[in-house]
Chain A
Amino acid sequence: MTKKDTDPPPPESTPGPVGPVSTKVTGRDDLEHIEMDLLFDGAFRRYGVDFRNYSYASLRRRVQNMVRAERVTSISRLQDLVLHDPAAMQRLLMHVSVNVTSMFRDPTFYASFRENVVPLLRSYPFIRIWHAGCATGEEVYSMAILLYEQDLYERCRIYATDMNEVVLKKAKDGIFPLDLMQEYEKNYAQAKGQGKFSEYYSAKYDHAIFRQSLKKNLIFSHHNLVTDGSFNEFNVIICRNVMIYFNSTLQTRVHRLFFESLHRFGVLAIGRKETLRTTVHEHDYEPLDSRERIYRRKT
């Protein structure tokens, strides 16, 4: 039952009153691509929210999730909704942003950070860390715990930013479901945490609330990597598994922003399967741990 149709399909042709109307079936001008482009063009022009340079393959999945959730029949109908109703735009924002995170995610990263970055930080009287795209904050609290255990926390100010106000508020509150904390305890142990994980939070009802002593040097604020500029100079920038949702054009912009926002010899940490290779500032960094994607600005 092998398909014998080996030629690329001719454009589909529909007869019409002014002659046949031809549509392309694959390539950048396929229908879904057109609808996606129009949706985000419209959202940008109407609301100033810019998702035009997000990675297409994953973005289209999240948009289709919203199409199903809103029970509309096409992305074009979603565009209609979004353009006419700011609440629908809010929902689009929630669908587009990916906030999957956990404490001590990639435990070996934290172990490497302790081994390779912490010794470098000890020489600074004052340390500024930028956690870009912090989502609900689990990785920020993880870093806070690590720095606390290394007696560095008092000297640190951790700026945690995200473009999504809803998750940012959750991060600021520092309250997490208690059942997740058990899973996180395993990650903490694998990251070779040096204290007792349960001492960092108090349990109330079904929730874990992080202690004030861990929160006091955390500054949460809204920042959009697509549109906003540099707001300070940092010793460390952590941006893990955020840029995977961006296309290469946007990744370039963000790498420029990070480079401008890092002190010389400052540290940049990206996700386990992200790379600086072929990015604009590739040669301005040297690896501190190439396996864990921890780099230091050398120029």
Chain B
Amino acid sequence: MSARGIIVIGTSLGGLSALEILLSTLSDHLSLPIAIVQHRPALSDETLSLVLQLHSARPVGEPDDKEAIVPNRVYIAPPDYHLLVDRGHFALSIEPRVCHARPSIDVLFDSAAHAYGKRVIGVALTGASKDGAAGLATIKQKGGLAIVQSPDTAESAMLPSSALAATKVDKVLPIPEIAQYLSLLSEDRRFM
């Protein structure tokens, strides 16, 4: 069964605990695939995926190039590659860093917007970076939805604040309510 849409999440500093809470509170019937860019050093290993798997009922992994996008799965961008969303599959790239980052949130968000248009939910969480703000604006431009973590609940407010400055978002919420809202949104007709 192919994905009817995608949730794309971007985070940097403070992301690990934010993601742990988010992934563990998502409702079971949310089946949309989730792709995450967490800024990470080039030489890091799979510890991030292993740790997140402990907090997620869904399988968590780092996709290979051209891997199919499958519902009910969580995909983490591998270190030192950009993770792009194409129609039905992921694509990896080693193009130059964007906002000093590879993987870059802007690259993930921008590619998802171009591949899935209205059927994208972009989520900007804590981070000490502006990476993701422009990408979230593109998601909105292409008719998708934008959710931002409320800056005062974020370990680092820069990413959420830059996102809020870049585009009109649909919701500004603390993490547990983001999880609830995602679960609600996934029932939206546009994802059927």
Contact = CB atoms under 8 A, between A and B. Distances in A.
A69 interface: no
Contact of B65 (A1, A62, A190, A275): A275
B1 interface: no
B96 interface: yes
B65 A57 contact: no
Nearest to B82: A58
A62 B110 CA distance: 13
A273 interface: yes
Interface in A1-15: 1-3, 5-9
A57 B114 contact: yes
- In this complex, the member of A8, A26, A32, A62 whose beta carbon has the largest number of chain B beta carbons within 10 angstroms is A26
B95 A277 contact: no
Contacts of B62: 273
Contact of B92 (A2, A273, A277, A278): A273
Contact of A277 (B43, B64, B82, B94): B64
Contact of B190 (A6, A98, A241): A6
Contacts of A8: 118, 190
B114 A244 contact: no
A58 B98 CA distance: 13
B93 A58 contact: yes
B95 A61 contact: yes
Given A9-B143, A26-B117, A244-B65, A62 B95 contact: yes
Q: For chain A, which range describes its interface: under 10, 10 to 19, 20 to 34, or 35 or more residues?
A: 35 or more
A70 interface: no
A-side interface mostly: loop
Given A273-B78, A274-B65, A100 B95 contact: yes
A55 interface: yes
Interface stretch (B7-15, B17-25, B83-91, B154-162): B83-91
B94 A3 contact: no
B93 A248 contact: no
A248 B117 CA distance: 23
A275 B95 contact: no
B66 A57 contact: no
Contact of B81 (A107, A273, A278): A273
A100 B188 CA distance: 41
A56 interface: yes
B94 A241 contact: yes
Given A6-B189, A273-B81, A98 B143 contact: no
Contact of B91 (A26, A57, A272, A275): A57
- In this complex, the member of B66, B82, B91, B110 whose beta carbon has the largest number of chain A beta carbons within 10 angstroms is B66
Given A26-B118, A278-B66, 8 more contacts: A1-B171, A8-B190, A9-B118, A32-B114, A56-B87, A245-B93, A273-B64, A274-B65
Interface of A: 1-3, 5-9, 25-26, 32, 55-58, 60-62, 98, 100, 107, 190, 241, 243-245, 248, 251, 271-275, 277-278
23 contacts: A5-B118, A6-B189, A6-B190, A7-B189, A9-B118, A9-B143, A26-B117, A32-B114, A56-B86, A56-B87, A57-B114, A58-B95, A61-B84, A62-B95, A98-B95, A107-B43, A241-B94, A244-B65, A244-B91, A271-B65, A273-B62, A273-B65, A274-B64
